[in-house]
Amino acid sequence: MKTKAEWQTLSESITLRNQAYIGGRFQSAVSGETFKTTNPATERVLAEVASCDQADVDLAVAAAKAAFVSGSWSRKAPGERKKVLLRLADLMQQHRDELALTDTLDMGKSISEMLSVDLPDSIDCFRWTAESIDKVYGGIAPTGGDTLGLISHEPVGVVAAITPWNYPLMMATWKLAPALAAGNSVVLKPSEKSPLSVLRLAELATEAGLPDGVLNVLPGYGHTAGKALALHHDVNVLAFTGSSRVGGMLMEYAGQSNLKRVWLEAGGKSPMVVFEDCANIERAAGTAAAAIFSNQGEVCIACSRLYLHKSIKERFLKALLAATAGYRGGDPLDPETRLGPLVDKAQLDTVSRYIKSAMDDGANLLTGVIPEYMEGQGYYIEPTIFDGARNDMRFVQEEIFGPVLAVCEFDDEDEAVRLANDNRYGLGASVWTDNLSRAHRVSKQIQSGMVWVNGWGGGDSTMPFGGVKASGNGRDKSLHSIEKYTDLKTVWISL
Ligand code: NAD
């Protein structure tokens, strides 16, 4: 691992791509407009980036459609597509430092986390998905002897992917790997808050052998580039990761245009429930801290609601506060840093408002303060924990997307399940118990797409990732993610 000084030196020499990537080449936005992306740790401008809108969307979708129709990728044998995607994974590995550094500079995530989580996960997602694509079979229907019924998965055509800023490379990868593996063309619109790493990824994809036009990247704002993409009649599937609010808008855009299929990976307000029979309180408390403070709490599956059985609460909170001491704001380029700045001033203001509302609602502040912003010093915030929280408080119900934890207590299992489910979101949940029956019983009852028993956030490329309720309908990763980007085709042959 490089030292902080080495990362700083590298950050001064890195070349950041800042144009749209359409048809296999970089180009400015048709309007010539740009927007600034800044480093949240220093507030210095990193790059002036092409600000794409309708005209660029039209060009990118046309390029994607032409590539699809040409068959240069869509009709390539799956085994051949596999080789290209494996080469891309190798190139990502070779350029690992550069990709990690780009996201760290662009959104404030610690370099250690980039190298231990985002990069390995993204590379593995490409490798695993590439490996699986030539192992997916169609079917033959059980028809009578004078007919043959074939069932196959076909690529859908043009996939639009719209992604958030909190895991810029990884969230894009979770869409790109399966959509490309299935033979589609893609137009990706990254968040305007962290657009840089995927521009480099697109260039590496071309180097790996992906034909021109198969992957296009349009940096730009949601209400311009994103909306135009979502309304486009030549986009067949829209894959989104982001807030539930915008997810709802995308469903409307689909209805107003061509009924494109919309996959949503949306917000979360995940509960962690710790029962009195939890075998290792210290480990659970350390995990609770990681589950809300890693990536500054800017994590869709962050466990921002902690429900503790009243008999263990005191001991748990002591261990939690000790674990929290390990998360102090620092330079994301320092490999020791575990808490970087929030992504921007708007996010800092939002999180500050929620801390204030928790205080106004009478929750008891155990650690943390309302952040005092100093211009030019970065958007830093301390880890914040409130005890005495209740489900009827606003900060317990709404997604904050920052390092703010609400601690509530419960008396018995029924109450724990009821409190955990009393929320509009249903992304993840963490359950701590040493009782196998209870672990299964509670996992079944909790309304969420994912449950971690005696842990948090575990999973790999084999496991689907996604939620229920207002957390969305889509699943990234695993073979299910490939199906999302295919249409089922049936052919009935009279013999
Ligand atoms: P966001 O919804 O504000 O933006 C997400 C993307 O949508 C961005 O690219 C944005 O430009 C675009 N967008 C905004 N308005 C649009 C519009 N009108 N039309 C089309 N596109 C538009 O979300 P965010 O702030 O970037 O990300 C944080 C959210 O993402 C949180 O709610 C978090 O929980 C969620 N998230 C979910 C998952 C998951 O897997 N479920 C993973 C990561 C993040």
What CA–CA distance (Å, rounded) separates 44 from 337?
20
Residue 299, pLDDT score: 98
Separation of CA 415 and ligand 1 centre (Å): 32
Separation of CA 243 and ligand 1 centre (Å): 4
* Mean pLDDT across 400-407: 98
Which amino acids bring their CB within 6 angstroms of ligand 1?
162-166, 171, 189, 191-192, 221-223, 226-227, 230, 241-243, 246, 249, 265-268, 300, 399, 401, 427, 467, 471-472
Residue 445, pLDDT score: 98
User: pLDDT band at residue 377, thresholds of 50, 70 and 90?
Assistant: very high
With the most atoms of ligand 1 within 8 angstroms of its CB, the residue from 241, 269, 344 to mutate is: 241
Which residues, other chains included, contact 116 with Cβ-Cβ below 8 Å and sequence gap of 6+? none
Residue 51 Cα distances to 25, 59, 195, angstroms: 16, 14, 11
8 pLDDT above the threshold of 90:
yes
Shortest-distance atom of ligand 1 to CA 247 = 2
118-170 residue pLDDT tens: 999 999 999 999 999 999 999 999 999 999 999 999 999 999 999 999 999 99
- Residues identified as active-site: 265, 300
% of the chain beyond a pLDDT of 70: 100
Residue 450, pLDDT score: 98
Q: Using CA positions, which residue lies closest to atom 19 of ligand 1?
A: 227
Mean model confidence pLDDT for the chain: 98
Q: Using CA positions, which residue lies closest to atom 9 of ligand 1?
A: 191
313 pLDDT above the threshold of 90:
yes
17-54 residue pLDDT tens: 999 999 999 999 999 999 999 999 999 999 999 999 99
Q: Using CA positions, which residue lies closest to atom 20 of ligand 1?
A: 226
87-130 residue pLDDT tens: 999 999 999 999 999 999 999 999 999 999 999 999 999 999 99
Residue 176, pLDDT score: 98
Q: Using CA positions, which residue lies closest to atom 43 of ligand 1?
A: 300
Q: Using CA positions, which residue lies closest to atom 18 of ligand 1?
A: 223
% of the chain beyond a pLDDT of 90: 99
Residue 1, pLDDT score: 85
- Is-contact 354 402, C-beta < 8 A? yes
With the most atoms of ligand 1 within 8 angstroms of its CB, the residue from 162, 227, 264 to mutate is: 162
202-212 residue pLDDT tens: 999 999 999 99
Shortest-distance atom of ligand 1 to CA 164 = 26
